[in-house]
Amino acid sequence: MQWFLDFPISPLPHQITNQSKILSMGSCFADVIGGKMQNVKFDTLVNPFGTIFHPLILGDLLDHAIFKDELDIEGILERDGLFFHYGVHSDLKGKSKVDLGQKYLSQIQRTKEYLEKGSHLILTFGTSWIYELPEYGRVANCHKQPQKLFEKRLASLEEMQSHLAHVFGNISRAFPQLKIILTVSPVRHTKDGISENQLSKSLLRVLCGNLEKQFDFVSYFPAYEIMMDELRDYRFYKSDLIHPTAEAENYIWEKWKKAIFDADTKQKVTEIAKIQLELAHRPLNPESDSHRKFQQNLLAKLERLDGEFDFSKEIKDLQGLSKPK
């Protein structure tokens, strides 16, 4: 008996290879997919401004990176002796306004580098609901300030599409080599309400569809649809009933590999994943001859691949350990 529909996902037109340089920005799923690519040695920068849920904020940050804008001091706030900014996540903080500004500019420069030299930009949209501060404007994060300070509203499809179309136009003119992959986060924003979350996600899906039609360098990967259809059981959510489990994330990752990697890249990813498992191996007796031989064989594999992938840290950690004492 067939218990669910395994819907086919056509290969994306602009595939990722081991030579790709990738910027992944957006909601928690941007961290998940970006982290998995980092783990198998893709050159990937993940959420340089922290987790960002809203398309309008992502558009703002990309534009700031393109034009290397400095931090807007009007958005700085102090809490518990640290300085934050309403335009970014609380992961980006400083011990002073100057320190915060320097860290922000450093991330702007890193992001600009990945836009200039990169091959792919992955954007994961989390919600259409946005918070605004009357004296500042839209915010990426409320930084645990009283909710009464903010106004919450549902951004319109027209507003989000217009803003991102403007940003994507800037990207295509400045970085014509860059391909964009859009996804809608499978994480449920239940604090907004169940119906409200579904309305929000629906707008994001239409937004992705419209942008994909408007720009030939934009494509879409259905992470949200996989979670909602193939993995529609609550057992695929963590105990908070909001975030996908590791098993669900791995299932989506397998779909990602099939749709976005070419055959050679898939083979290399499989090989590197096996090596990562070997690196994580914990022996019963670290001093045994068998384990020392295992380390020597593993070191030989790493040295063989190091010219194509950066295994310098792993090689350094293993060197000396495989030699008899």
Inform me whether the pLDDT recorded for 322 exceeds 70.
Answer: no
Please determine, for residue 111, whether its predicted confidence score (pLDDT) is greater than 70.
Answer: yes
CA distance linking residue 102 with residue 108, whole number of Å = 10
pTM score of the predicted model: 0.92
125: nearest Cα among 222, 195, 238: 222
**Residue 323 pLDDT grade (very low, low, confident, very high; cuts 50, 70, 90):** low
Burial per residue of 91-103, b for 16 or more beta-carbon CB atoms within 10 angstroms, e otherwise: ebbbeeeeebbeb
Cα(317)–Cα(304) distance, integer angstroms: 16
Reported as a single tens digit per residue, the pLDDT across 219-262 is 999 999 999 989 888 899 999 989 999 999 999 999 999 999 99
The percentage of the chain sitting over the pLDDT mark of 90, rounded to a whole number, equals 77
pLDDT at position 65 over 60? yes
| Locus of tokens 């309403």 | 86
Number of H helices, E strands in the chain: 10, 10
Predicted confidence band at 159 (pLDDT cuts at 50, 70, 90)?
A: very high
pLDDT for residue 246: 93
- Asked if 63 contacts 169 with a C-beta cutoff of 8 angstroms, the reply is no
In this structure, of 179-183, 275-279, 282-286, the range with the lowest mean pLDDT score is 282-286
